[in-house]
């Protein structure tokens, strides 16, 4: 039996090779892997001894040779005689991981170096071995080394076992090629080439999809969810999308904030002197919608806050970290799901790209990001000027991350009213004020944000009747003069950011 080992990531390769030796494998290797194995006492054959041809062209050609690929690809039951005539010996196990293309493009913009870190021989060997999984074991992940050794030692090297490794191998080369193609399009075609490849690594299955009859799973870009811990319960598809919405708003507001989300939209948000107070104030906005919702705690969830949250039914909690004492508070709650991100505060991936499935394909765009200075740099268009921008900034960030049409009212660091996902902006403003009145919340002196311009003055008139003091919006309506006049009549300070944040 022979094994070919050629890895860029050499984690665990020495022990793996020694275990293969003990099992009677003859080890073939290339370049750096050959040197590492030889230096550590592995009896190893350099690949050019097999190919009968020297490594050439600065290492670009090493394994592209019939003695290698014939050894991998020939069918043992049909091609044995032909292989013998050609002097091709079988290679029964191939262990390859690829040149670090991602690490290279993260480290340098030197195109010559980037080109040299596109692996050619590696993917070819992987695909050859995967194609012939009936006879060959293909290993592309160092986490599988122990599993492979166990299969060889304990008669578990079944067709099904090799098939699973084959699928993993094709996933490995497909994601690698997709990464290269996407990079080249980003560099040379403004990121919008003829094809766009979206590849993610599976993190977990969800309990189900949006509805119980649908299957679902969470996939990650890079390693974003590696530190996400499920402390209690099993996430559904909807739980994860709601968590995403809550975390995005909480991160935008900053450490110390608490955000409550229901069906993807915020129904409570606050940032106060401590997390406990932030939660109490966030809950006041809409405690009815908060029932069965998602709570994002941008910090460390302790026992005191956990006890407060536990007073109503909450379906999902996600925090930077959760203390053992806090977790114990929920131990008798069967339906709750609890997650932590393994950090003192919540964080997001801050992806540069965004896409959405539509029937027959998907639409793709640069990601919309809300900058911290958008309100600070906004233009005052009224006679009155703002005295304090904190509530305006908070309202603006929440509005930008909430389904359009949307208006948000914030007072003293807490959201006091919100209208979202409406077909009319004036309806959104009116619904928010109606809800605030039902909750007995005072919006007088509050700051209002709209993620897109007010097309008519009616929304400003409604805000004025409720006692709103400050407004921030993008501006850009053909009736801006009327809207500004309405604000001046009500002695409201109004700011135009010049930036729209539709979220559909």
pTM for this prediction: 0.90
Please say whether the beta carbons of 43 and 21 come within 8 A: yes
CA distance 239 to 294: 8
Q: What tens digit of pLDDT does each residue of 16-73 get? A: 999 999 999 999 998 889 999 999 999 999 988 888 888 777 778 888 888 888 999 9
* Known active-site residue 213: no
Would you state the structure tokens that stand for residue 41, as one six-digit string? 């006492």
Per-residue pLDDT tens over the stretch 420-471? 999 999 899 889 999 999 999 999 999 999 999 999 999 999 999 999 999 9
CA 432 to chain CA mean position, Å: 31
Radius of gyration of the chain (CA): 30
pLDDT at residue 396, rounded to an integer: 98
Domains of the chain: 2-188 (3.40.50.1380), 226-340 (3.40.140.20), 374-496 (3.40.140.20)
CA–CA separation, 16 and 4 (whole Å): 12
Q: What are the start-end ranges of the H helices in 211-254?
A: 237-253
131 catalytic per annotation: yes
Provide the pairing of β-strand 493-496 with 470-473. parallel
Whether residue 303 contacts residue 281, with contact meaning beta carbons closer than 8 Å, is answered with no
- Segment holding 412, helix H or strand E: none
What is the rounded CA–CA span in Å between residue 265 and residue 290? 11
State the catalytic residue, choosing from 18, 38, 131, 333.
Answer: 131
With CA atoms as reference, report the closest residue to 430 among 407, 455, 414, 411: 407
- CA–CA dist 29, 8 (Å, integer): 12
Rounded Cα distance between 297 and 317, Å, is 8
Catalytic residue among 196, 263, 308, 333: 263
Of 171-180, 274-283, 418-427, which range is least confident? 418-427
Residue 97 CA to residue 8 CA, distance in Å, equals 6
Which strands, in side-by-side order, build the sheet including 2-7?
A: 44-46, 26-29, 2-7, 93-97, 137-139
């Amino acid at each position: 039996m022979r094994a070919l080992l050629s890895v860029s990531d050499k984690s665990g390769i020495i022990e793996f090779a020694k275990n293969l030796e003990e099992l009677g494998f003859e080890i073939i290797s290339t370049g750096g892997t050959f040197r590492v194995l030889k230096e550590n006492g592995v009896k190893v054959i350099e690949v050019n001894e097999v190919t009968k041809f020297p490594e050439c062209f600065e290492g670009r050609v090493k394994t592209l040779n019939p003695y290698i690929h014939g050894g991998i690809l020939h069918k043992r039951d049909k091609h044995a005689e032909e292989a013998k005539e050609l002097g091709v010996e079988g290679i029964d196990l191939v262990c390859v991981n690829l040149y670090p293309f991602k690490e290279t493009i993260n480290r340098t913009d030197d195109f010559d170096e980037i080109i040299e870190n596109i692996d050619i021989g590696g993917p070819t060997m992987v695909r050859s071995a995967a194609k012939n999984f009936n006879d060959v074991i293909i290993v592309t992940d160092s986490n599988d080394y122990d599993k492979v050794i166990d299969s060889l030692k304990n008669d578990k090297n079944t067709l099904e076992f090799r098939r699973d490794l084959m699928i993993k191998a094709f996933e490995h080369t497909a994601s690698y090629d997709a990464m290269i193609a996407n990079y080249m399009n980003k560099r040379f075609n403004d990121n919008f080439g003829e094809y766009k490849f979206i590849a993610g690594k599976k993190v977990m299955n969800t309990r189900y999809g949006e509805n119980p009859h649908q299957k679902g799973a969470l996939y990650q870009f890079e390693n974003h969810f590696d530190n996400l811990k499920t402390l209690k319960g099993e996430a559904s598809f909807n739980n994860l999308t709601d968590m995403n919405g809550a975390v995005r708003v909480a991160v935008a507001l900053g450490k110390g904030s608490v955000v409550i989300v229901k069906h993807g939209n915020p129904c409570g948000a606050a940032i106060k002197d401590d997390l406990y107070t932030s939660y109490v104030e966030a809950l006041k906005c809409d405690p009815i919608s908060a029932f069965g919702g998602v709570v994002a705690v941008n910090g460390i969830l302790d026992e005191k806050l956990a006890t407060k949250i536990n007073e109503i039914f909450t379906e999902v909690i996600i925090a930077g970290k959760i203390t053992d004492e806090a977790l114990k508070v929920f131990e008798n709650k069967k339906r709750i799901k609890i997650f932590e991100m393994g950090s003192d505060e919540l964080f997001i991936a801050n992806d540069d790209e965004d896409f959405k499935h539509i029937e027959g394909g998907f639409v793709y765009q640069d990601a919309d990001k809300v900058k911290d200075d958008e309100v600070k740099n906004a233009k005052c268009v009224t006679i009155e000027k703002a005295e304090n921008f904190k509530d305006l900034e908070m309202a603006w960030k929440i509005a930008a991350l909430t389904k359009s049409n949307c208006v948000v009212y914030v007072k003293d660091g807490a959201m006091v009213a919100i209208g979202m996902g409406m077909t009319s902006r004036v309806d959104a403003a009116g619904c928010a004020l109606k809800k605030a009145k039902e909750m007995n919340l005072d919006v007088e002196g509050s700051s209002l944000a709209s993620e897109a311009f007010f097309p008519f003055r009616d929304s400003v008139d409604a805000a004025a009747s409720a006692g709103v003091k400050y407004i921030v919006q993008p501006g850009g309506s053909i009736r801006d003069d009327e809207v500004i006049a309405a604000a001046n009549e009500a002695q409201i300070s109004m700011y135009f950011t010049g930036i729209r944040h539709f979220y559909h």
